């Protein structure tokens, strides 16, 4: 059963031409839910066909049905764990035999939870690094080797901003996402001559997402955060990220590579949760366990 926020939009306002991604194919990890579901939908509304891939096949299958119905474009659901290179190879092969091409790769699959460093098990830290960082590398390498090296392409990684000022309770994800930012630049330089652009979107707090359900704290905490910490005075929407992904995925940004596009309403300029607040949050969390 899909989360209610993973339904397609009733209305969508176009800022770009509606055929800006026509005849392109995008492969989107984590496209069955949250931010990447909305990116997939907005891509399809701009004429793109898509592949959505994650561990839970029912989730991507049902999402693909909703997306095709709402947009009239094609969406291929594929089961794949980004930690497993063989599954990735098979998923990319499946995508290529279905569409004969991949133009855009979006690395959105990720895992996160709030946890103080001292309470993280070794396996918990490793798990997040494996999904976010290794997963981004594994899938990028497979798509590059199988298609982009000969035809060019466009990679958009999904990072975050929490490592900019060492947000507490997030050492595992901060380390994983900082590595993704670095990888964006390394791969942009190495693969640029093959016609491959590599960029990254760093979302701030995005409403109606699993990420915010896990990290946002309770209602009171969130309301304070929006009021005090976000210069634009509102949470981001998944459409904000989808439209930014259209910009980076289309020819509008054809001379842009190796960048991290921060889409956070200015939040990362303002200092974040301090350790005292974090301790209070942890006590609240612990009392609910």
Task: State the residues that interact with ligand COA by CB under 6 A.
Answer: 110-113, 115, 121, 123-124, 127-128, 210-211, 214
Considering only the stretches 102-110, 116-124, 181-189, 192-200, report the one whose residues sit in contact with ligand NAP under the rule CB under 6 A: 102-110
Decide which of ligand COA, ligand NAP, none touches 81; Cβ closer than 5 to 8 Å per partner kind: ligand NAP
Pull the structure tokens for residue 24.
Answer: 């392109």
Residue partners of 186: CB distance under 8 A and separation at least 6 = none
Q: Considering the rule CB under 6 A, would residue 92 count as an interface residue with ligand NAP?
A: no
Q: Considering the rule CB under 6 A, would residue 167 count as an interface residue with ligand NAP?
A: no
Can you tell me the distance from the alpha carbon of 32 to that of 284, in angstroms, rounded to the nearest whole number? Answer: 31
Directed axis angle between helix 135-143 and helix 171-191, to 10°? 20
Alpha-carbon distances of 224 from 209, 221, 229, 233, 274, rounded to whole Å: 18, 5, 8, 11, 14
Quick one: which of 209, 253, 257, 267 contacts ligand NAP (CB under 6 A)?
A: 209
Pull the structure tokens for residue 256.
Answer: 């842009």
For the bound state, the minimum distance from the C-beta of residue 206 to ligand COA, rounded and expressed in Å, comes to 9
Q: Considering the rule CB under 6 A, would residue 40 count as an interface residue with ligand NAP?
A: no
**Is residue 123 within 8 Å of residue 170, measured between CB atoms?**
no
CB nearer to ligand NAP: give 34 or 265. Answer: 34
CB nearer to ligand NAP: give 94 or 149. Answer: 94
Q: Considering the rule CB under 6 A, would residue 211 count as an interface residue with ligand NAP?
A: yes
For the bound state, the minimum distance from the C-beta of residue 281 to ligand COA, rounded and expressed in Å, comes to 13
Considering only the stretches 81-89, 90-98, 143-151, 226-234, report the one whose residues sit in contact with ligand NAP under the rule CB under 6 A: 81-89
For the bound state, the minimum distance from the C-beta of residue 274 to ligand NAP, rounded and expressed in Å, comes to 20
Q: Considering the rule CB under 6 A, would residue 85 count as an interface residue with ligand NAP?
A: no
**Is residue 235 within 8 Å of residue 205, measured between CB atoms?**
yes
Quick one: which of 20, 36, 88, 95 contacts ligand NAP (CB under 6 A)?
A: 36
Question: Dihedral, CA atoms, 260, 266, 268, 273, nearest 10 degrees?
Answer: -150
Alpha-carbon distances of 145 from 85, 137, 142, 150, 202, rounded to whole Å: 13, 12, 5, 8, 26
CB nearer to ligand NAP: give 21 or 82. Answer: 82
Quick one: which of 158, 179, 188, 281 contacts ligand NAP (CB under 6 A)?
A: 158
Q: Considering the rule CB under 6 A, would residue 242 count as an interface residue with ligand NAP?
A: no
- In the beta sheet, which residues pair with residue 52? 28, 77
Can you tell me the distance from the alpha carbon of 216 to that of 218, in angstroms, rounded to the nearest whole number? Answer: 7
Kindly state the helix (H) or strand (E) to which residue 187 belongs, with its residue range: helix 171-191
Q: How many residues bind ligand NAP (CB under 6 A)?
A: 31
For residue 243, with 0-12 CB atoms within 10 Å meaning exposed, 13-18 middle and 19 or more buried, which class applies?
A: buried
Cα atoms in the Cβ-side hemisphere of radius 13 Å centred on 104: 30
Decide which of ligand COA, ligand NAP, none touches 113; Cβ closer than 5 to 8 Å per partner kind: ligand COA
For the bound state, the minimum distance from the C-beta of residue 33 to ligand NAP, rounded and expressed in Å, comes to 4
The footprint of ligand NAP (CB under 6 A) covers 29-30, 32-36, 54-56, 59, 80-83, 108-112, 131, 135, 158, 160, 203, 205-206, 209-212
């Amino acid at each position: 059963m899909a989360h209610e926020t993973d339904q397609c939009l009733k209305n969508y306002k176009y800022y770009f031409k509606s055929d800006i991604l026509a005849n392109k194919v995008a492969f989107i990890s984590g496209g069955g839910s949250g931010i990447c579901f909305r990116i997939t939908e907005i891509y399809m509304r701009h004429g793109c066909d898509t592949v959505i891939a994650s561990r839970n096949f029912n989730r991507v299958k049902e999402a693909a049905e909703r997306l095709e119905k709402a947009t009239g474009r094609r969406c291929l659901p594929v089961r794949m764990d980004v930690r497993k290179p063989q599954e990735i190879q098979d998923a990319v092969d499946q995508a290529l035999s279905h569409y004969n091409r991949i133009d855009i790769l979006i690395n959105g699959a990720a895992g996160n939870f709030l946890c103080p460093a001292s309470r993280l098990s070794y396996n918990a830290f490793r798990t997040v690094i494996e999904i976010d960082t290794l997963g981004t590398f594994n899938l990028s390498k497979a798509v590059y080797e199988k298609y982009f090296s000969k035809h060019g392409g466009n990679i958009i990684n999904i990072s975050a901003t929490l490592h900019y000022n060492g947000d507490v309770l997030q050492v595992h994800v901060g380390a994983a996402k900082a590595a993704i930012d670095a990888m964006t630049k390394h791969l942009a330089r190495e693969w640029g001559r093959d016609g491959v652009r590599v960029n990254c979107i760093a979302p701030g707090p995005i409403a109606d997402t699993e990420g915010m359900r896990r990290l946002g704290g309770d209602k009171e905490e969130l309301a304070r955060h929006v009021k005090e910490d976000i210069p634009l005075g509102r949470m981001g929407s998944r459409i904000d990220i989808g439209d930014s992904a259209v910009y980076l995925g289309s020819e509008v940004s054809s001379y842009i590579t190796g960048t991290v596009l921060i889409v956070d309403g200015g939040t990362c300029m303002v200092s974040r949760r301090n350790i005292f607040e974090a301790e209070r949050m942890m006590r609240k969390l612990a009392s609910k366990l």
